Amino acid sequence: MSISTSIEETLTSLEKEISVADLGSDEAIEEFRIRFLGKKQGSITGLMKRIPDVDPADRRAFGQRVNELKAVAQARIQKAQVAQGPGVAGTSDVDYSLPGRVPARGSLHPLTETYRLITRVFESYGFSIEEGPEIEDDWHNFTALNFPPNHPARDMQDTFFIEQPTQKHDGILLRTHTSPVQIRVMLDSEPPFRVIVPGRVYRNEAISYKSYCLFHQVEGLYVDEGVSMGDLKHILHVFARELFGEDVVMRFRPSFFPFTEPSAEVDIWWKDDNMPGGGRWLEILGCGMVDPNVLESVGVDPEKYTGYAFGMGIERIAMLRYGIDDIRILYENDERFLSQFD
């Protein structure tokens, strides 16, 4: 099989032209492409169009030669483009001028953000972070914290029991607050104690816009010689200023917790011009001086040591800070909500 001499000559001269063409600039490359491979008038394109007209005996060999030529021309273009460098629109499949793709970036959950903010304030005052188990026994969760045996909080309405307490065995439950970690910390070492305890707690409550079956608390405990209610007020004032601004207005309101005496709740003044009176008091935490009975239950001498404790709900503070009015949205992982916290 041989291709007719005239076609052979055309192919050879094209081959030569392709191999010697100067592709030293973007324009030259583009000219070369149009001349040989252009859709309408490119000479190689022209030859390809002629394949069906070639004598069947020669067609195969001819087609092969033309394809080889095309490959050589394309290779030259590619090589020349690389040599020219990036950024040449129209001469490359890659448009280097397009903006890059920004990878999707996660963000901290508002609860994590709030938790970090809270713990950072106390860490800067020398508190260390402790953690305790979420599955707790009745003794740590209630008894050691001076809950009388028939206190309403022990009621099954509030507590998820894993094992009911019996005459012989202590009950096992999902902790209802982070306060049992106070007991674990004090049993574990010697005073002074200065800890904060973040963690998840569980309550068997009806789920609504303001309560959920699980939530998060941060507990604080400081026990040493001569710790006073004045120290408690000071640290909580510092804390409130850090979280709600320098001019935050707060008040201590007498309250009751079995494990503190005296006990108080702290409210902050929430300014709202749309409300009658220009705002309202909002409770942010419970606190008090550690009850001597609690110190005794862990073998700390209440004649020598005094201490304060406090506990707050992280959800509540996050909701105040971010103006969230339904607690459930914090657990739904709805991206439309979460992406607002970038």
With 0-12 / 13-18 / 19 or more C-beta atoms within 10 angstroms meaning exposed / middle / buried, residue 308 is: buried
Which of 73, 287, 319, 327: binder of ligand DAH (CB under 6 A)?
287
> How many whole angstroms separate alpha carbon 215 and alpha carbon 208?
13
Position among 33, 65, 154, 177 found at the interface with ligand DAH (CB under 6 A): 177
Backbone torsions φ then ψ of 56, nearest 5 degrees: -50, -30
Q: Which of 42, 110, 288, 307 lies at the binding interface for ligand DAH (CB under 6 A)?
A: 288
Nearer to ligand DAH, 65 or 130 (CB): 130
Asked whether position 260 contacts ligand DAH by CB under 6 A, the answer is: yes
Q: Which of 280, 125, 262, 228 is nearest to 252 (CA)?
A: 262
Q: Does 310 bind ligand DAH (CB under 6 A)?
A: yes
Applying CB under 6 A, what is the total number of residues that bind ligand DAH? 11
- Signed CA dihedral, 219, 225, 231, 232: sign only: positive
Residues 189, 112, 176, 320, CA torsion sign? positive
Least distance (Å) from ligand DAH to the CB of residue 249?
21
Closer of 235 and 287 to ligand DAH (Cβ)? 287
Q: Work out the end-to-end distance of the chain between its first and last CA atoms, rounded to an integer number of angstroms.
A: 71
Binding region for ligand DAH (CB under 6 A) out of 156-164, 206-214, 304-312, 324-332: 304-312
Please identify, among the stretches 114-122, 167-175, 229-237, 286-294, the one whose residues bind ligand DAH according to the rule CB under 6 A: 286-294
* C-alpha dihedral, 236 to 241 to 244 to 246, nearest 10°: 160
Contact between 179 and ligand DAH by CB under 6 A: the answer reads: yes
In the bound state with ligand DAH, the residue whose beta carbon lies nearer, of 44 and 291, is 291
Min CB(109)–ligand DAH separation in Å? 22
Q: Give the whole-angstrom CA distance, residue 229 versus residue 189.
A: 24
Which residues here bind ligand DAH, judged by CB under 6 A? 177, 179, 219, 257, 260, 286-288, 309-311
